[in-house]
């Protein structure tokens, strides 16, 4: 009985880890010290959970020109760009954004913006990457 339980746990763990796509952002010319990664996985409701983690990301007001926030954008199948939220960062510590979307995300990017409620990117692009 213990052997069956053991293999069942290993099987569940293997299924959970294979459903996650990870994307590493390239080094940014604007904030070169930033180490940024994103993961995409599908939840039980067939939505996609996007988790973006940024380490050593300078505060937006320290950029030249100064900005007010970092906005995170996704590009979906038909090429449409959607704003999924703002990345809040204090003193270069780890910043995390978790968002749920019904769209299968193909690309993700970050911009430094003056406003946070934009429907299209208008500021400086920090970095961009694609999911496999």
- Least confident stretch, 69-73, 80-84, 88-92: 88-92
Domain 21-130 has CATH 3.30.420: no
Q: Percentage of the chain with pLDDT > 90?
A: 72
pTM, two decimals, is 0.83
Cα–Cα dist 2/109, whole Å: 46
Residue 88: pLDDT band (50, 70, 90) is confident
pLDDT mean across residues, the chain:
88
Q: CA of 103: how far to CAs of 39, 55, 81, 86, 129, in Å? A: 14, 26, 11, 18, 17
Position with higher pLDDT, 7 vs 55: 55
Cβ 92 vs Cβ 56: under 8 Å: yes
Residue identified by tokens 């970050």 is 110
- Is the pLDDT score of 17 beyond 70? no
């Amino acid at each position: 009985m213990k052997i069956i339980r053991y293999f069942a746990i290993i099987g569940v763990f293997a299924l959970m880890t294979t459903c996650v796509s990870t994307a590493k952002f390239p080094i940014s010319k604007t904030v070169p010290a930033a180490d940024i990664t994103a993961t995409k996985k599908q939840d039980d409701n067939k939505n996609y959970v996007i988790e973006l983690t940024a380490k050593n990301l300078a505060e937006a007001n320290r950029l030249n020109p100064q900005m007010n926030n970092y906005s995170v954008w996704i590009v979906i199948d038909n090429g449409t760009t959607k704003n999924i939220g703002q990345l809040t960062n204090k003193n270069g510590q780890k910043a995390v954004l978790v968002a749920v979307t019904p769209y299968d995300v193909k690309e993700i990017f970050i911009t430094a913006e003056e406003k946070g409620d934009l429907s299209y990117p208008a500021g400086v692009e920090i970095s961009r990457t694609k999911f496999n």
